[in-house]
Amino acid sequence: MQFLFKVFTLFAVLIFHAKCDKLENTTITVATLIGRPYTMFTSVREGEILTGNARFEGYIIDLLDLLAKNLGFSYDIHIIEDHRYGSKHSGEWDGLIGEVRSGRATIGAADITITREREEAVDFTVPFISLGISILYKRSSDGKALPFTNVEELAASAETIKVGCVRGGSTCQFFKNSDNPIYKRIYERMATADPPTFTDTNAEGIERVQSGEFAFFMESTTIDYVVQHHCGLQQVGGLLDSKGYGLAVQEGSPLREQLSLAILSLQESGDLVKLHDKWWKNKNGEKCDP
């Protein structure tokens, strides 16, 4: 078994080096979205002006830098203005998926979930982060018990507790397309709310949670980051599913294999763990916000 593993590893390395020249010495366009801690505007000192990729920082930027170094390419960041990850309307894709599918971007790099529907439009690399859907809710300031401890109790709770997710995102689609009666009830509760409780961004959802009486469904990796930085918020319940974030490329692109092998190499070297620790943990022992 050990011999077979070594043979497979050698074979993968040979394929990796044989195909690297397809990206080497090229400059590509990478589409992404602004969102903590994945892609953020770099903090600048008064009077300082940044240009190009230096304007951005975050987990995705560091990941791209490592991939660019390993594969020998350069890249330019393109921000998706409508902040859409990608959903289909009248046969056309919007957001990040639309940019990649149309060829306006070579790679789509963000906290974008690999889904069956999106796989029909673009190709994804192996996941660089694994995650699932969970609930973000405000901590009780007076020590009282939470009104719910899982999604089942939330579905049965009083409708004074509003429930939301990002409009058109994979989390909302999960509830919309589910055959599970509890999840269907959750979606109907969101869709029929007046006003609707869908949000345009995760940041908007987090703000509504902080205001109280609002349960926000979002991906566990982002919840991990949020609760590290906001003491007054918490994750409630476990994960509702299991999935991953991947880089998106055009269908049939040879870049998928190159990027996937490079991601696996970063995983084996421990670099992905280091990136996670760098961007998820509070720096220098900083205290989280209320």
pLDDT of residue 90: 85
* Domain-embedded: residue 287: no
Is the domain of 249 the same as that of 120?
yes
pTM for the model: 0.81
Spatial separation of the C-alpha atoms in residues 13 and 282, rounded to whole Å: 36
pLDDT of residue 7: 42
Indicate the number of domains in the chain: 2
* Domain-embedded: residue 286: no
Is the domain of 160 the same as that of 55?
no
* Domain-embedded: residue 86: yes
pLDDT of residue 57: 97
Is the domain of 125 the same as that of 9?
yes
Is the domain of 9 the same as that of 122?
yes
pLDDT of residue 5: 42
| Three-state secondary structure call for residue 99 | helix
pLDDT in tens, the chain (290 residues): 444 444 444 445 445 444 444 778 899 999 999 999 999 999 888 888 899 999 999 999 999 999 999 999 999 999 998 889 988 888 899 999 999 999 999 999 999 999 999 999 999 999 999 999 999 999 988 778 899 999 999 999 888 899 999 998 999 999 999 999 999 999 999 999 988 899 999 999 999 999 999 999 999 999 999 999 898 999 999 999 999 999 999 999 999 999 999 999 999 999 999 999 999 986 555 566 65
pLDDT of residue 24: 82
pLDDT of residue 128: 97
Q: For residue 45, which phi and psi values (nearest 5 degrees)?
A: -80, 160
- End-to-end, the C-alpha distance of the chain in Å comes to 52
pLDDT of residue 286: 56
Is the domain of 7 the same as that of 108?
yes
DSSP code of 9?
H
Q: What is the CATH number of the domain that holds 27?
A: 3.40.190.10
Residue type, 84: R
